[in-house]
Amino acid sequence: MAQALEGLGVLVSDSLLVAFSGGRDSAALLHAASRLNRPGLRAVHVDHGLQAAAGAWATQAVATAAALGVPCEVIRVDVGRGGPAGPEANARDARYLALASHMRAGEVLLTAHHADDQAETVLFRLVRGAGLAGLGGMAAIRPFGPGRLARPLLVVPGALLAAYVSAQRVPYVHDPSNDDERYARNYIRHRLLPVISARWPRGVGAINRAADHVRAARGLLASYVARDVQACAGADGALIVPAFLGLAPEARAEVLRAWLVGQGGPSVSEAKCTEILAALAVVPRSRGQVLRLARHGTLRRYRERMVFCKDEGGGEAPALRCVWTPPFADLALEDGRRLRAVPALGEGVAAARIGGRSLVVATRVPGERVLVPGRGHRALKKLLQEFGIAPWDRSRAVLIFMDDALIAVADHWVCKDFRAGPYEAGLAFHVAP
């Protein structure tokens, strides 16, 4: 166990938390972990409440852990039985959410997934038509919650764990739902893997080596995808649609997924990815598109840029109007952003045109008309459209006035009559998150 953890980069100083279901595999894991004599080792048992004996299992889990000198806490979760995902997926999601919330900063969560589980996962995903991410199986270690999730038994056959538990006389419980072959994973475990192992005794290991190869290939692919994402993204993270469509067609799906995850969005399905790609290939008459990602937010395109918004409204900002006085220290806006006046040479508003006067900072008022020096009164909506500001960003646009005249829109535009000339001292107005 110590060598396995070391191979995964888990240090002796790292705190360990064992996910202890009370079943055979997790009993072997907890017993082996307890022999490491690691201070601070603890366990957690998630009670899904799906079986009549769930309460008794939780009691036995605490007693088994206590006999090994390991404190164990029981977390009870509410597993939704409905929905398209099914009870297995619902229970797994609820379990991982509970485990993540129970972890401490920097802690390493240990789970008892073993070699047979890895082969089962790869086969399950294969028959569902998974891509590289799925066919790579489970990672031996990855970021999780406030720390990491490690699977130190991932190369150990299940039979060895059974022999270990028997030899060490570690008590464990058996969940009868694991025998129900109506569930896909159980069917693979009880029907397919025995047939494969009977015909190819080293078949489980071969499947897992194939998964290793897939993960290695995916790592290489990720480096190329990251390069393409960088080439297609603007300074603010927005996807530049023409650059994206200039990629090879076979590269677009992976780049889209990587960009979206990088923006805090979900990992979309193949069907949803195809839908998004088809929409991006068409230039809408309004030059704007809204693509909904169920409860995860929306993709919003305007002209040549697309952004991901977690909220349906696209981020409405509260109305603002205030006086900003020299020397123009950072100004806190109502929505948590900050307006900054950055000294610049040959850029922004000419400092000499401002002198020592105060400015007025405001956000858009629907239907408002503003005075633009040299252009008269103009509808603000048309001006913001002219500046290329997307409809969902217009209420967040920070307008800068002097003597009732609009002289700049932070990060987007400076009035021609107020622009700093070459080598002239200026102030560039930027909004920071």
Q: Which position has the higher pLDDT, 393 or 171?
A: 171
Q: Which position has the higher pLDDT, 222 or 311?
A: 222
pLDDT bracket for residue 85 (50, 70, 90)? low
Q: Give residue 42's pLDDT.
A: 97
**CA separation for the pair 337, 334 (Å, rounded):** 7
Q: Are 267 and 274 in contact (CB under 8 A)?
A: no
Whether the pLDDT of residue 282 is over 70: the answer is: yes
Q: Give residue 84's pLDDT.
A: 54
Q: How much of the chain, in percent, has pLDDT values that exceed 90?
A: 71
Q: Give residue 418's pLDDT.
A: 95
Whether the pLDDT of residue 83 is over 60: the answer is: no
CA geometry: angle at 250 spanning 244 and 254, to 5°? 65
Q: Give residue 391's pLDDT.
A: 81
Mean pLDDT within 153-172: 96
Whether the pLDDT of residue 357 is over 60: the answer is: yes
How far from 413 is each of 161, 180, 247, 383, CA to CA, in Å?
66, 64, 30, 10
Name the CATH superfamily for 2-200: HUPs (3.40.50.620)
Q: Where are the domains of the chain?
A: 2-200, 233-309, 321-432
pLDDT bracket for residue 316 (50, 70, 90)? low
Q: Give residue 314's pLDDT.
A: 46
Whether the pLDDT of residue 66 is over 70: the answer is: yes
**CA separation for the pair 44, 91 (Å, rounded):** 16
pLDDT bracket for residue 290 (50, 70, 90)? confident
Dump strand ranges (E) for 303-404: 305-309, 321-324, 331-332, 338-345, 349-350, 359-362, 369-372, 376-379, 399-402
Mean pLDDT within 241-262: 95
How far from 12 is each of 69, 217, 253, CA to CA, in Å?
19, 31, 41
**CA separation for the pair 241, 258 (Å, rounded):** 15
pLDDT bracket for residue 18 (50, 70, 90)? very high
For the chain, how many residues are written?
Answer: 433
The DSSP string of 405-420 is: EEEEETTTEE-GGGB-
The CATH fold of domain 233-309:
3.30.465
User: What pTM value is reported for the model?
Assistant: 0.69
CB neighbour list of residue 140: distance below 8 Å, 6 or more residues apart: 8, 150, 151, 152, 154
Neighbours of 327 (CB within 10 A): 6
Q: Which residue has the tokens 């008022």?
A: 365
User: Model confidence over 120-152: pLDDT tens digits?
Assistant: 999 999 999 888 889 999 999 999 999 999 999
Q: Which position has the higher pLDDT, 231 or 368?
A: 231
User: Model confidence over 392-402: pLDDT tens digits?
Assistant: 788 889 999 99
Q: Give residue 45's pLDDT.
A: 97
CB neighbour list of residue 321: distance below 8 Å, 6 or more residues apart: 360, 361, 362, 363
Q: Which position has the higher pLDDT, 289 or 83?
A: 289
**CA separation for the pair 73, 327 (Å, rounded):** 57
Q: Give residue 3's pLDDT.
A: 93
Neighbours of 409 (CB within 10 A): 21
